[in-house]
Chains A and B, each alone.
Chain A
Amino acid sequence: MNQQECSSGLIKQVECVVIGASSGGLDVLIKLLQALPVHYQIPTVAILHQRPNRSSGVPDMLSKYTHMTVQEPEDKQGIEPGHFYVAPPNYHLLIDPDKVFSLSIDAPLNFCRPSIDMAFQSAAEVYREALVGCVLTGANSDGGQGARYIKDYNGRVLVQNPKQATVDSMPLAAIAAADVDDILDIEDIAKRLASFGDPAERIPS
């Protein structure tokens, strides 16, 4: 299965990928970026739990492993193809209906800011069935509710194989909370994401 069919029989093109990662997440994001095609176009938004420092250095670090433009989005910045966005530390990252980022300093949700659940929910409301969410390694349950939201809006959810994850609680929480589409090693998640970006795969059935 490369693409899930929508109820109308049309295959919906993937417009955005959201990724949630916590403990061990940086290494996995690096692996993912290394395995994605050189000119991967689908905008990808990573919610990585980090220490609440002002400047994380994560985008600079990740950009060494990809040709995508890696950046922390600014408030009200538009979402563009070929970009890999990383949520800024200590802010929630939301997506507004006009497909721009919106930051928030609301209280942490389940001790997390940025909250994966919050980001996934806002993305699901905007992109609906054109959204893919990935829940990767992490030591809490953030992302579980978010995965359920994505499924409620007919999007797709891929989860990192808990046996492969540095810490398995986040993948397990997502599997428990939502009827996820697939549980895969990170290399296979990259292949699946690549297939969504491949024009040959987008032809309606």
Chain B
Amino acid sequence: MSQDSYAEQLNEFEVEVECLMEALYLRWGYDFREYSRASLRRRVARYMSDNHYQRVADLQHELIRDKKRCVHFVRGLTVNVTDMFRDPEFYKVIREQVVPELRSHPFLKIWHAGCSTGEEAYSMAILLHEEGLGERAVIYATDINSQVLEQASKGVYHEKMLSAARENYAGTGGPGRLDDFISVGYERFLVDPKLKKNIVFTQHDLVTDQVFGEMQMVICRNVLIYFRRELQTKVLTLFHDSLDMGGFLGLGMKESLRSLPNHIRFKPIDESARVFQRID
């Protein structure tokens, strides 16, 4: 075999990961087949070493038989780093450029897709509350993973995250203090229960599940980076179809629509903050 054709080949681990993804889809409907490969493989390798699996085949055998183990594995594949008011300038742009338009709606529906442990859904709830829109807004916060949603619905976070959260809040142009919306104790902080009244936490898989209808805003931060371009394109259509005409889309700070064929259905509101508006 020549070196060139060898270089085209996947190694054993890479082939096994492909098989594993196919198996998870066939057995439980979890579809990771169009996820970016470099980080997917890393996560599989990390899950295996954390959970003492020597061979992908052993892991696959167990995941096919044991739904609970599979849910645990999926959590390992998808768990993300998030933070209250992550990227303060994003929230500043929401506050200054999106909120004035949202005010014209008597009732607001916002979909936070891939909300992970919920910090940013609460951040948005705080922002809306400060802007006097809290009472008329519902935030649908969704994630593929039921375990992170359970954590999200509690609204309890470790105190070590608090200093970053306070610092972030200070950069959002907020009129008050973050501490007006949280209570601190026992090395934890708890978000004000009144914020939870406007948030619905529910499971949703961007790859296999359907449109959330008639939203005024969709927020999906640092999720698309884990998808291949084809899947990104498909999910962007899902967001488009979930939004009202003129509705807003907020992405992560390094996520771009430029390389996607359907990006022309959105116009940038703030290019660097990655806030877009549906225009067709």
Residues of A at the B interface (CB closer than 8 Å) are: 6-8, 10, 12, 54-55, 72, 74-77, 88, 91-92, 94-98, 100, 102-107, 118, 121-122, 125-126, 128-130
Contact = CB atoms under 8 A, between A and B. Distances in A.
Given A75-B254, A96-B36, A118-B42, A104 B226 contact: yes
Interface in B1-48: 2-3, 7, 11, 14, 36-39, 41-43
B36 A94 contact: yes
Interface string B198-240: 0000000000000000000000001011101100100000000
Contact of B7 (A77, A100, A130): A130
Name the 6 nearest CB pairs between A and B, nearest first.
A94-B38, A122-B38, A74-B256, A102-B36, A103-B225, A8-B3
Contacts of B255: 74-75, 103
Contact of A128 (B7, B222, B229): B7
Interface of B: 2-3, 7, 11, 14, 36-39, 41-43, 80-81, 87, 89, 222, 224-226, 228-229, 232, 252-256, 258-259, 272
Given A75-B256, A100-B229, A125-B14, A6 B3 contact: yes
A53 to B, nearest CB: 11
Nearest to A55: B272
A153 to B, nearest CB: 9
A46 to B, nearest CB: 16
Nearest to B3: A8
B254 A74 contact: yes
Contacts of B228: 76, 96, 98
Contact of B254 (A12, A88, A94, A96): A88
